[in-house]
Amino acid sequence: MAIESGQELVRFDGVGLTFPGGSARRPVEVIRQLDLSVQAGEFVAVIGPSGCGKSTLLSLLAGYLTPSSGRVLFRGKPISGPGRERMMVFQQPALFPWLTTEENVAYGLRLKANRSNGRDVKETVAAMLQLVQLDGFARHYPSDLSGGMRQRLEIARALAVDPQVLLMDEPLAALDALTRRTMQREVLHIWEKTLKTILFVTHDIDEAVIMADRIVVMAQRPTFVLEIEDVRLPRPRLREDPEVGKVARRLSTLLE
Amino acid sequence: MRGLAPPRSAVRLIGPLTVLVTWELAARFGLVNTLLLPPPSKALADLTVLISSGYLWKALYASLFRVVCGFAIAVAVGIALGAAMARVRPLNDFFDPLVELLRPISPLALFPLAILWFGIGDGSKIFVIALAASFPVILNTFAGARSIDTNLIRASRSLGASEIEIFKGIVLPASLPHIFTGVRLAWGISLIVIIAAEMVGATVGMGYMVLEAQQTFRTERVFAGIFVIGVIGFATDLGFRRLRRWLLPWYRETET
């Protein structure tokens, strides 16, 4: 069942997406001829001008949108809708405010579709909360948590149903600079521990260089893949490292 | 120092008690016309008469029966219609103008019609209460169902929720705070409308009791009636707040 690391997990095959216009609106072409392949276990960052369609890319993969042309393949099969093997982590955490921390994590596990997978709900919830270091906050409601904690909770909820890929849509953009740095380390730590594939959309070039194996640079709308940068620097990487700076500068000239 | 201060609930009694004592003294010492402003003790004495003779219970029962019936209809119809309008566009287009046209009309303006249609008994009161109280329920349910964060629904869909699980687990709890606000407002409106309606046309009820007392110049009974009406409004609203804290512990609303 488990897919070997290094095998192709996700494939965008000549994908185009146009939002149909209304009576007063013109149709908007967001994506044109996009090709991309992501290997299992990879940490891929996606950067590009704001509003270019980076988030749309993740929505296609999550199954919230369907391409107007081309195909989005997951393990070789076209994506037909949302599914727990592809979990989204939203920029503004989409936690269920009426559920406590542990209930939020347990929510997915208790759904009819996931009940038969043999995982013990209590055990899994405890393990997830420990992974994201929220074990002391099991009974708190999301409104009692800080921004960073909410984001960690959202990651825990997504990981609880054991997805194969995490789709992270600017997950750290709403956090203050200090929390953000801590969370970058946290996300890497979670990635290394769980061996999940991660697609990470960000508008912060430094963040992309510090975290990712590969960086996908997107073009202006209608967007496509402008360039893919392999980051072959050893981790942990520091923002102050001149090698990191060199990669970041090259990428930022690409985006100008 | 906090431990030495008297409890806040005791401090909050000072205002009402001062008014009562001043009023009692003013009446006793002949500073006011006791025919128009009898002392509270006299009103209290009349209240015991009303209680022991069973007249109060008869009036209260008649009023509360009408209120509960009208309120129940308003809540049931309001939630169903509000939710349906939020989800089905043509229904919204059909009902919204009707709601907006009827809403500004004083429910008492419709009362003469209600008497023609449903008679002087319970029917006419239940009708106006149901009508007047349904508006806040409709509007708040509508707002609640409309304001659900789409990402909450997307997240639960990704986790594997079925349509029924989304409705029960997400749409319903997410709209509950709004619905609850609407229901609480509806109860307040019901209490206001019933008294006024019973003063316009009734043969039994709290409103009728107060009006009759005024017409026979038993001012102390007018005050006793007003006091009972006030206590019921206060106590039930307190009940609603308790109920909300119990039902929606996660929801933070600024207390008014």
Nearest CA in chain A to B248: A98
* Residue B72, burial from CB neighbour count under 10 angstroms (0-12, 13-18, 19+): middle
Q: Give me the residue spans of the domains in chain A.
A: 8-85+163-255, 95-162
Any domain includes B120: yes
Write out chain A residues lying below 8 Å of B173, CB-based.
96, 98
Q: Is the pLDDT of residue A175 over 90?
A: no
Tell me, what's the pLDDT at A113? 84
Whole-angstrom Cα distance, residue A107 to residue B62? 47
The better pLDDT of the pair B235, A175 is held by B235
Whole-angstrom Cα distance, residue B94 to residue B50? 49
Residue span of the structural domain in which B180 resides: 62-247
Reported as a single tens digit per residue, the pLDDT across B41-90 is 999 999 999 999 999 999 999 999 999 999 999 999 999 999 889 878 99
For residue A1, how many C-alpha atoms fall within 13 Å in the half-sphere facing its CB? 4
Tell me, what's the pLDDT at A36? 95
Q: Is the pLDDT of residue B128 over 90?
A: yes
Tell me, what's the pLDDT at A152? 93
Any domain includes B129: yes
Write out chain A residues lying below 8 Å of B155, CB-based.
88, 90, 94, 157
Beta-carbon separation of B158 and A82 below 8 A:
yes
Any domain includes B121: yes
Name the average pLDDT for chain A. 91
Q: How many CB pairs under 8 A join A and B?
A: 72
Interface with chain B: mutation pick from A59, A100, A111, A116, highest number of B CBs within 10 Å: A111
Does the domain made of A8-85+163-255 have the CATH classification 1.10.10.10? no
Nearest CA-CA distance, residue A154 and chain B, Å: 10
The better pLDDT of the pair B11, A2 is held by B11
Nearest CA in chain A to B175: A98
Residue-by-residue DSSP string for A54-95? HHHHHHHHHTSS--SEEEEEETTEE--S-BTTEEEE-SS---
Distance in angstroms between the alpha carbons of the first and the last residue of chain B:
27
User: In chain A, what percentage of residues exceed pLDDT 70?
Assistant: 98
ipTM of the modeled complex = 0.90
Q: Is the pLDDT of residue A117 over 80?
A: no
Reported as a single tens digit per residue, the pLDDT across B136-174 is 999 999 999 888 999 999 999 999 999 889 988 998 899
Number of structural domains (chain B) is 1
Nearest CA-CA distance, residue B154 and chain A, Å: 7
Q: Is the pLDDT of residue A121 over 80?
A: yes
Q: Is the pLDDT of residue A191 over 50?
A: yes
Indicate whether this model's pTM tops 0.95: no
Reported as a single tens digit per residue, the pLDDT across A57-101 is 999 999 999 999 999 999 999 999 999 999 999 988 899 999 999
Residue B139 is part of a domain; what is its CATH number?
Answer: 1.10.3720.10
Tell me, what's the pLDDT at A50? 86
Nearest CA in chain B to A139: B250
Beta-carbon separation of A88 and B248 below 8 A:
no
Tell me, what's the pLDDT at A125? 95
Per-residue pLDDT band for B2 (boundaries 50, 70, 90) equals: low
Q: What are the angstrom distances between the C-alpha of B40 and each of A74, A135, B31, B193?
A: 79, 58, 14, 26
